[in-house]
Amino acid sequence: MFARRTYEKRRLALRNNFEDGIILICGNSLSPANYRDNTFPFVQDSTFLYYFGLNKENLIGVIDIDKEQEYIFGNELTMDDIIWSGPQISLGDQCKLVGVENLLPYEDIKRFLYEVKHSGRKIHYINQYLPNNIINIADWLEIKPNEVNDYVSEKLSYAVVEQRNYKTPEEVQEIIKAVNVTREMHLKAMKIAKPGMKEYEVAAALENVAKSKNCTLSFLTICTVNGQTLHNHYHGNTLKEGDLLLIDAGAKTESGYCGDMTTTFPVSGKFTPLQKEFYNLLISMFDKASELIRPGITYKEIHLEVCKVLAKGLVEKNILKGNVDEIVEKGVHALFMPHGLGHMLGLDVHDMENIGEVIVGYNGEAKSTQFGLASLRLGRELEEDFVFTVEPGIYFIPELIKKWKNENKFPEYINYEELEKYMNFGGMRYEGDFLVTKTGNIRLGETMVKSPEEVEEVRAKAFK
Ligand code: GLY
Ligand code: MN
């Protein structure tokens, strides 16, 4: 948690966007996994955490613009809470730590919102994703659950994004902490993975690094010898000589900030010559992005320039043919990288994705529907203090290649015969986290291994 002043300043800045009405920010509740008392780990709503700082379930934050008052609705500790969960600082005192003077019982929110609604005042809230909150808001506002997101306040959505997209120095410090733990998770995997091990053994070892640093995970770990499956959460394969192991994993610090990193390394310890060629191409894509990141350029332009590096590399390998600019303009290269180059990073690994990708990543401008570009979460002009990922990939997805071949898609650009040789190649991705500075960028965190030589040097430790 930051100092009280941080939350007071954030709420004041938010409030200053509005003339009247109230802002309603719902915290999250515990979600049962298989019965009420056996829940998924608690993850606080990031917007609630940003403005109200309390990492605790069943709290509702309200900013009353007309009355210049702030409230938290939540229930004070009971003796039962103390018996089962131990003595804790009272909720009233926790509210004071984040500068909120008014703590009201959770049950009072219904009456409070009834009065606001029936006095004709506007209630601003952002898009809701948690079923509990959807049902509650429907109940409080006397609407149907499936109507809740029809009444989202666009003004509030833009105002929140306008604040959360710019990371303050204290936020950047937290993200750096998360990235450094994330880096250690990846290095741990590189130092222990060996042929014969199961993917889940490597995943357990790297996740334990996060746990041992008092962090949770930013998202479900990807640790797979089938890196061509983009979000592969299966961990049951045995690592074999010649495989590439792709790990996409990150730590979330106690304060909620996330790291996100992907590495790909050879199970055998050394890349095969062919793997090394593609890995070098992958790193040249990553380096192209880091050369270009600065205020004023759009992330979409960077994405497209990186795709040109990929296309050029594939033309040199005789997998693609023709003009590189045309290949990228038509989206042919997306056969080998169907996802976007990156996304905003902060309290969420895909920061604020719940508020809306077009608002966060495109400032309201329409997103392309072209295959590949349609998956680009961030396209807007970059500004100082934005933090986001850069994660180029190269994949040979046999099912997709076969589909395109059967449809005879882009025969003038794709050498399908040559492509047959790569059907079992798999996939690779490399990812780092960047901050935009006044004139350029900084890759956040301590220096991370990147080149094939650096990767092989760390991998050698697994075989000592
Ligand atoms: N690191 C997972 C993702 O970016 O989707
Ligand atoms: Mn990512």
Which domains can be identified in the chain, with CATH numbers?
Answer: 4-164 (3.40.350.10), 169-463 (3.90.230.10)
What is the chain's mean pLDDT, rounded?
97
Q: What is the band of 342 on the pLDDT scale with cuts at 50, 70, 90?
A: very high
Q: In b/e form, how buried is each residue of 305-319, taking b as 16+ CB within 10 angstroms? A: bbbbbbbbbbbebeb
**Counting ligands in written order, which one lies closest to the CA of residue 248?**
1
pLDDT digits (tens, 9 = 90+) for 67-98: 999 999 999 999 999 999 999 999 999 999 99
Residue with more model confidence, 464 or 260:
260
* CB-CB contact of 183 with 448 (8 Å): yes
Pocket of ligand 1 from Cβ distances under 6 Å: 219, 248, 260, 349
268: how many CB neighbours lie within 10 A of its CB?
Answer: 19
State which ligand 1 atom lies nearest to the alpha carbon of 248: 1
Residue with tokens 């071949």: 405
How close is the Cα of 261 to the center of ligand 2, in Å?
7
Q: How confident is the model at residue 355 (pLDDT cuts 50, 70, 90)?
A: very high
Which pLDDT score, from 0 to 100, does residue 22 have?
98
Question: Closest residue (by CA) to atom 2 of ligand 1?
Answer: 248
State the pLDDT at residue 219.
98
417 φ, ψ (degrees, to nearest 5)? -65, -45
Ligand 1 atom index nearest CA of 260: 1
Dump pLDDT digits (tens) for 152-169. Answer: 999 999 999 999 999 999
Integer Cα distance of 258 and 241 in angstroms: 33
Confidence of residue 428 (pLDDT cuts 50, 70, 90): very high
Residue 145 C-alpha to ligand 1 middle, in angstroms?
30
Distance CA 303, CA 458 (A): 30
CA-to-CA dists, residue 327 to 305, 314, 361, angstroms = 12, 11, 25
The vertex-185 CA angle with 179 and 189, nearest 5°, equals 145
How far is residue 450's CA from residue 96's CA, in Å, rounded to a whole number? 45
CA of 345 from ligand 2 middle (Å) equals 8
**330 is written with which tokens?**
């038509």
pLDDT score of 51: 98
Q: What are the pLDDT digits (tens) for 284-332?
A: 999 999 999 999 999 999 999 999 999 999 999 999 999 999 999 999 9
Tell me how far the alpha carbon of residue 120 lies from the centroid of ligand 2, in angstroms: 43
What is the structure's pLDDT at 115?
98
- Atom of ligand 1 at shortest range from CA of 350: 4
Q: What CA–CA distance (Å, rounded) separates 219 from 232?
A: 12
